[in-house]
Amino acid sequence: MPERREDDVAIEVEHLIKRFPRAQSNAVDDLSFSVPRGETFGLLGPNGAGKTTTIGILTTRVRPSGGRAAIGGLDVVRSPIGAKQRIAVVPQRSNLDRSLRVGEILTYHAAYHGVGRQEREAHASELLEEFGLGARAKQQLSIFSGGMEQRVLLARALMHDPDVLFLDEPTNNLDPQARLFLWGRIRALHEQGVSIVLTTHDMEEADRLCDRIAIMDHGRILALDTPEGLRRLIPGGAVLEVGVRVPQAALVGSASDGGSDDGDHFRTTLERLPGVTTVERAREDGATGSVLYRVYATDDTGALLANAAQAVIQEQGELRDLRMARPTLEDVFIHLTGRDLRS
């Protein structure tokens, strides 16, 4: 690994271990990774994989049993206060101060972090305005909906200009509007150079937001790569689905040709295309006379799409359906962590 300046690394974790008392196994088991400054880092894993414990250690809430974790070069065990001044957390469960009004939640949070009065007032009203809560600054939190609370949580986290933002399943139980809004805000923060650590169960969310994703299970990292890179872990690469309706004329023609089955006729044609590894006859619909082929290819799929369409038309088949079935992150996730329910 090339030498990096301390400054460029937002989070560094080396051989981190956490074992809870009387537990059968380690909750976090020899974990090592680092997050460069400005990266959005996703942490995926089944329930109980150790994601929240890892975040707990990094946010100084949990004491590690072994190993080292550092935020911006500051060890979280030796200088927890320094580390805590550089991070902000949006926890899984709201821990907003229910005795205060919404505006005060923000200003007091900044005050705990030593932000000057004028600056925090200005910053708070600006953030509330931006988050669509400007008119509600003087209201109590108890009348807020879940989505609004989530927005307050994020606004509060931004009050002291953190270097690293931890988001622990931020879009759980949010409506689509609130989710889109949150995604937009996370992207904006990413563009401003804030390092973000995101845990989630929403694969689409991870795919859209994260630069790199670690898939965890049993306290270990199973895979760590870009979303694109993770998809390549699935054997087969690209998948193309071709639906063909076989016209009666072609059927008669090919049957008299060499007596071969009509399905094989299209199949061999597709197999001859460049980059194709296997072709599979996935589904047959007797009523409409259409067949669905799944074409597995290693090659660039843009060209494959055009080639497949052309081949079908040349063979006088009627093209009914043509779509790319890219392996999703969920496929990768299940591939790595298995289908079993966690006990």
Q: Site residues (CB under 8 A) for other proteins?
A: 20-21, 56, 60-63, 79-82, 84-86, 91, 93, 95-100, 104-105, 108-109, 111-115, 119, 122-123, 126-127, 130, 156, 158, 160-161, 163, 188-189, 192
Nearest distance in Å: CB 217, other proteins: 23
Nearest distance in Å: CB 82, other proteins: 7
Nearest distance in Å: CB 122, other proteins: 6
Q: Which CB, 96 or 224, lies closer to other proteins?
A: 96
Q: Which CB, 114 or 258, lies closer to other proteins?
A: 114
Q: How far apart, in whole angstroms, are the C-alpha atoms of residue 245 and residue 24?
A: 57
Q: If you search the block for the tokens 């949580």, which residue do you land on?
A: 153
Q: Which CB, 133 or 276, lies closer to other proteins?
A: 133
Angle between helices 301-314 and 262-271 (to 10 degrees): 140
Q: How far apart, in whole angstroms, are the C-alpha atoms of residue 232 and residue 234?
A: 5
Nearest distance in Å: CB 263, other proteins: 59
Q: Which CB, 182 or 273, lies closer to other proteins?
A: 182
Nearest distance in Å: CB 54, other proteins: 15
Dig out the tokens for 1 from the structure: 């690994």
Nearest distance in Å: CB 146, other proteins: 16
What is the full DSSP assignment across 82-132? HHHHHEEEE-SS----TTSBHHHHHHHHHHHTT--HHHHHHHHHHHHHHTT
Q: Which CB, 17 or 111, lies closer to other proteins?
A: 111
Strand blocks (E) in the chain: 9-18, 28-36, 40-44, 66-71, 74-75, 87-90, 164-168, 195-199, 212-217, 220-225, 238-245, 276-285, 290-297, 318-324
Q: Which CB, 92 or 277, lies closer to other proteins?
A: 92
98 burial class (0-12, 13-18, 19+ CB within 10 angstroms)?
exposed
Nearest distance in Å: CB 162, other proteins: 8
Nearest distance in Å: CB 77, other proteins: 8
Identity at 204, one-letter amino acid code: E
Q: Which CB, 63 or 342, lies closer to other proteins?
A: 63
Q: How far apart, in whole angstroms, are the C-alpha atoms of residue 238 and residue 294?
A: 10
Q: Which strands, in side-by-side order, build the sheet including 87-90?
A: 87-90, 164-168, 195-199, 40-44, 212-217, 220-225
**In the chain, how many H helices and how many E strands?**
12, 14
Q: Which CB, 33 or 108, lies closer to other proteins?
A: 108
